[in-house]
Amino acid sequence: MPFYQDFTDQNATILFWKYDEQDRFNHEELIEAENFGKVENYHPKKLQEYLMIRQMLKKLLPEHKILYKTIGQPYLFPKDYFISITHSFPFASLAISKKRVGIDIERIMPKILRIKHKFLHPSEISWTENEDEVEFLTVIWVIKEALYKLHPSKYWSLKKHYEVDQFSLNDLSKVRCRVFDENFEDFYDATVTKIEDFYFAIIEEQHQINFKIPPKDVLHL
């Protein structure tokens, strides 16, 4: 089937796919030998997400594969591009860039209220406590998760070291955010899109690259 949506821009190739029951995958071709043990007990939906990511990579960079560091962080081999992956059934997305890129997707669900104390910076509390709180929290969550994937300093506390500026749910095209500690701060702009009952965040280092994806008429799975 064709890709659900293409978020590719001048900086990165970002493909987004919605699973369809008619989709078929070649497991032997798509599952890397190094990852066989990792995926053999996956839930069927999680396995579909895994295979969707590999199918997209196969269309873009057929000689590359996705491996994992000891902390579970995915990386591309050969290491000539940065990648970021995210999935939440039935969606999966793959980003490839010459510089760092972070993407994340999350379903809008009230249960996020139960964990907001774990990831909200104190400055974010006052303007998120309203009738749209669940949506505000979901947007903040995907931005911070994308920031974590992007930033070379892997701070584990989304509450202490990641902050999102106040934004409007009516305009999520450029949301200011930062990663910081007592010695430095790095600012970024996130682009967030609402897709069905999910929010999807993209954060990129600003740059020009020469990486080109195949014409869209061949990007059919």
pLDDT at 83: 96
Amino acid letter, 15: L
Indicate the range of 3-7, 94-98, 154-158 predicted with least confidence: 3-7
pLDDT at 4: 65
CATH number for the domain whose boundaries are 5-99+205-218 = 3.90.470
Predicted TM-score (pTM) of the model is 0.89
Q: How far is CA 95 from the centre of its chain?
A: 8
Q: Which residues contact 172 (CB under 8 A, 6 or more apart)?
A: 139, 190, 191, 192, 193, 194
Residue 211 scores a pLDDT above 50: no
Q: For residue 169, is it left (φ>0), alpha (ψ between -120 and 50) or beta?
A: alpha
Q: Which residues contact 218 (CB under 8 A, 6 or more apart)?
A: 59
Domain assignments of the chain as residue spans, ordered by start? 5-99+205-218, 105-195
pLDDT at 216: 45
Cβ–Cβ < 8 Å for 106, 88: yes
- According to DSSP, the β-strands at 175-180 and 82-88 are unpaired
> What mean pLDDT do residues 29-40 have?
88
Residue 166 scores a pLDDT above 60: yes
pLDDT at 191: 97
Burial class (CB in 10 A: 0-12, 13-18, 19+), 197: exposed
